[in-house]
Amino acid sequence: MMKRIVILGAGTAGTIMANKLRKALKPGDWSITIVDKEETHYYQPGFLFIPFGIYGKQDVIKPKRQFFPKNIEVIISEIDRIAPDVNKVYLQNADALDYDFLVVATGTEICPEEIEGMKEELWHKSIFDFYTLEGAMALADFLKTWEGGKLVLNIAEMPIKCPVAPLEFLFLADDFFRKKNMRDKVDITLVTPLDAAFTKPIAARELGDFMEKKGINIVTEFNIGRVENEEKKIVSWDEREVEFDLLVTIPTNMGIKAIERSEMGDELNFIPTDKHTLQSNGWENVFVIGDATDLPSSKAGSVAHFQADILFENMMSAIAGKPLEANFDGHANCFIESGGGKGLLIDFNYETEPLPGKFPFPGIGPFALLKETRMNHLGKMGFRWLYWNMLIKGRDLPLEPHMSMAGKYIPEEEAETV
């Protein structure tokens, strides 16, 4: 009898998996169904550039169907709920689906309503997000005529997807206001729940130096409790206050509501998942990939891509009734736009924090790790082409899913204390 794989979510991870699985499994033996609520694929890394007029809407959207393989079933519908104990998915505008294997790739969404006062009078007037296309577009409009004042970027709570994006936003903002000859009219402050600019110490120091050089202030260990709309300030749970004229928020990031309704998630609706095999902890035939997992790896497109290599191998094993032997190591690889046509690159995994060195070829590069170069900026801009043309189509890139220590070195001060 024909068996069925259902993939929930046709974003970065779901699209890659559909392509990889369809190529490997005979259509006569396995049917593959993919479900998404939208017809449009958003290139989310491009949202970063929209507020500054570097990209427009057309640069970051394409029809999803352009990236699906032939011979899969595509259903456009909101997912209502999963019933993993009976291998069923309920949809809002279509019949329920039965599955033999399920891949959950529904990502994460921002939840501004989690913060008191966030989504009130000032929302998309003086308070903006840039993690959605609408937010980024509204902010672009606002910035066109803004005359300056206090720009505050606040991260509500961790984890967030693409944890370097807020820093990139600040570097680009600094550059943007400089070019408009109004940098002296803008006071830029990062307000973060972390105790430094970033979570990993060596990169945090490097990025902290950058912020200082660019005159960007930082307020640390600030856990936002509420927004005071009238007085235009954010207030932490321990009653510290930061005033703003323009608040750019990275609201709480959560897994989608359908996961909550299915009672499959943790307190943020992320699904408990084996950090090496990507099998869900709760159900043998349910796999989870990308931002939807509770893994301690970064939530990033590059991570979803490395995970896809591992998950593909493990699903093929599961289908053959063999043990799952491929192991995800937490590998992440992120270009960090630093303004002025330059960028940095970080490469790390569960065990190894971002280190300086060369990538991907030891000693040669062309990319420099944890160092600001023009080449890294070109890498960042070139990623969009790679994303549309190679990555989500599931083509092999000359990049190993596992992180390599080749080409990396540990700075001397750290080496002594290790």
Ligand X SMILES: Cc1cc2nc3c(=O)[nH]c(=O)nc-3n(C[C@H](O)[C@H](O)[C@H](O)COP(=O)(O)OP(=O)(O)OC[C@H]3O[C@@H](n4cnc5c(N)ncnc54)[C@H](O)[C@@H]3O)c2cc1C
Chain positions contacting another protein, by CB under 8 A: 157-159, 163, 194, 199-200, 221, 223, 225, 237-238, 266-268, 296-298
Contacts of 415 (CB under 8 A, 6+ apart): none
What residue 267 binds from another protein, ligand X, none (CB within 5 to 8 A, per partner kind)?
A: another protein
Nearer to ligand X, 80 or 243 (CB): 80
**Nearest-approach distance from CB 334 to another protein, in angstroms:** 11
Q: Which does 221 bind (CB under 5 to 8 A by kind): another protein, ligand X, none?
A: another protein
- Here the tokens at position 198 are 């970033």
118 touches, from ligand X, another protein, none (C-beta below 5 to 8 Å by class): none
- Separation between Cα atoms, residue 189 and residue 173, nearest integer Å: 11
Residue 314 near residue 278 (C-beta atoms within 8 A): yes
Interaction partner, residue 36 (another protein, ligand X, none; CB < 5-8 Å by kind): ligand X
Instruction: Please say which residue, 157 or 274, places its beta carbon nearer to another protein.
Output: 157
CA-CA distances (angstroms) from residue 154 to 50, 60, 212, 227? 19, 24, 17, 11
Closer to ligand X by Cβ: residue 45 or 365: 45
Minimum distance between the CB of residue 325 and ligand X, rounded to whole angstroms? 23
Rg (CA), the chain: 22
Q: Which is nearer to another protein, 15 or 273 (CB)?
A: 273
The residue (of 232 and 339) whose beta carbon lies closer to ligand X is 339
Q: How would you classify the pairing of strands 365-369 and 40-42?
A: unpaired
Which residue minimizes CB distance to ligand X? Answer: 11
**CB of residue 358 to another protein, shortest distance in Å:** 23
Residue 79's binding partner, choosing from ligand X, another protein, none, with beta-carbon cut-off 5 to 8 A by kind? ligand X
Q: Choosing among another protein, ligand X, none, which partner's interface includes residue 266 (Cβ < 5 to 8 Å by kind)?
A: another protein
| DSSP 3-state of 197 | coil
E-assigned strand segments in 156-268: 186-191, 217-219, 224-228, 233-236, 241-243, 246-250, 253-255
State in angstroms the smallest separation of the CB of 1 from ligand X: 27
Minimum Å distance from CB 300 to ligand X?
A: 4
Which among ligand X, another protein, none contacts residue 334 (Cβ within 5 to 8 A by kind)? ligand X
Lookup: tokens for 288: 């989870």
- Take residue 13 and report the two structure tokens written for it: 């991870």
Query: Which amino acid is located at 417 in the chain?
Result: T
The nearer residue to ligand X, 12 or 376, going by C-beta atoms, is 12
| Residue environment code for 30-54, b if the CB has 16+ CB neighbours within 10 A, otherwise e | bbbbbbbbeeebbbbbbbbbbbbee
Q: Nearest distance from residue 163's CB to another protein, in Å?
A: 5
* Closest C-alpha to 130, from 149, 104, 151: 151
Residue 154 partner contact from ligand X, another protein, none using kind-dependent CB cut-offs of 5 to 8 Å? none
Given the rule CB under 6 A, which residues bind ligand X?
Answer: 9-14, 35-38, 44-45, 47-48, 78-79, 105-107, 130-131, 161-162, 165, 256, 258, 290-292, 299-302, 304, 334
CB of 68 to another protein, least distance (A): 31
Comparing C-alpha atoms, which of 327, 302, 329 is closest to residue 313? 327
Angle at alpha carbon of residue 346, lines to 380 and 291, rounded to 5°:
80
For residue 167, which of 337, 385, 340, 383 has the smallest C-alpha distance? 337
Query: Shortest Cβ distance from residue 48 to another protein (Å)?
Result: 18
* Between 124 and 275, CB nearer to another protein: 275
How many angstroms separate the CA atoms of 348 and 355, rounded?
8
Give me the least distance between CB of 241 and ligand X, in Å please: 27
Output 99 or 169, the one with its CB closest to another protein.
169
Residue 302 binding: pick among another protein, ligand X, none (C-beta 5-8 Å cut-off by kind): ligand X
Task: For residue 236, give the 3-state DSSP assignment.
Answer: strand
List the end-to-end C-alpha distance of the chain, in Å, as a whole number.
57
Please say which residue, 240 or 402, places its beta carbon nearer to another protein.
240
Q: How far apart are CA 291 and CA 13, in angstroms?
A: 9
